[in-house]
C-alpha cells in the first residue's frame, strides 16, 4: 500500500520554520521603517537645498519657511523646517514621522548631519 501526503511531523516542522522566519521579519520591521524615514528626510533636505539655491539665484536671498512651503513639495510625513535664512546663508532641519532622528543641513558646508 503506497500512501501519499505529508505526515503530521513534517507539517509541524514546516509551520515551525515559517513562524521563526515571520518572527524575524516582524522584529526588524520598525527598524527598517525608521531607516527609510531617515532616508526620506535626508533626500528632502538635499532637494530643499537645491530649491534654496535656485531661489537665491533669482531673489539674492534664501527662502524663509513661508516661501519654502509655497515652492517646495516634499515627501509625505517629512517636515522640512527653515531654521534661519537670509542673504548670507541658510540652515534647515528635517524629520520623518516614523523616525526619532532629526537631520540638519547648512549652506556653510552642505552636508546632511544628525542634529
Over residues 8-67, the pLDDT tens digits come to: 899 999 999 999 999 998 998 889 999 999 999 999 999 999 999 999 999 999 999 999
Domain membership flag for residue 20: no
In this predicted structure, the answer to whether residue 114 has a pLDDT above a threshold of 80 is yes
Domain around 89: 37-114
Domain membership flag for residue 50: yes
Number of structural domains (the chain) is 1
Mean local confidence (pLDDT), 86-92: 95
Domain membership flag for residue 24: no
The length of the chain, given as a count of residues: 115
Mean local confidence (pLDDT), 72-79: 94
Q: Which three cell numbers stand for residue 68?
A: 519654502
The predicted pLDDT at position 6 comes to 80
In this predicted structure, the answer to whether residue 3 has a pLDDT above a threshold of 80 is no
In this predicted structure, the answer to whether residue 107 has a pLDDT above a threshold of 70 is yes
Residue with cell string 503506497: 2
What pTM was computed for the model? 0.77
Domain membership flag for residue 106: yes
The predicted pLDDT at position 1 comes to 63
Domain membership flag for residue 2: no
Residue with cell string 537665491: 56
In this predicted structure, the answer to whether residue 5 has a pLDDT above a threshold of 90 is no
Q: From residue 78, how far is each of 12, 13, 24, 26, 86 by CA, in Å?
A: 44, 44, 28, 24, 23
In this predicted structure, the answer to whether residue 2 has a pLDDT above a threshold of 80 is no
Domain membership flag for residue 67: yes
Mean local confidence (pLDDT), 70-93: 95
Domain membership flag for residue 32: no
Amino acid at each position: 500500500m503506497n500512501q501519499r501526503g505529508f505526515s503530521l511531523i513534517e507539517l509541524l516542522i514546516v509551520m515551525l520554520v515559517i513562524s521563526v522566519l515571520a518572527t524575524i521579519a516582524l522584529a526588524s520591521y520598525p527598524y527598517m521603517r525608521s531607516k527609510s524615514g531617515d532616508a526620506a528626510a535626508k533626500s528632502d533636505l538635499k532637494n530643499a537645498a537645491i530649491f534654496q539655491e535656485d531661489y537665491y539665484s533669482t531673489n539674492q536671498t534664501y527662502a524663509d519657511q513661508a516661501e519654502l512651503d509655497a515652492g517646495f513639495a516634499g515627501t509625505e510625513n517629512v517636515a522640512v523646517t527653515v531654521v534661519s535664512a537670509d542673504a548670507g546663508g541658510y540652515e534647515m532641519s528635517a524629520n520623518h514621522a516614523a523616525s526619532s532622528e532629526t537631520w540638519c543641513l547648512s549652506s556653510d558646508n552642505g552636508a546632511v548631519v544628525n542634529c
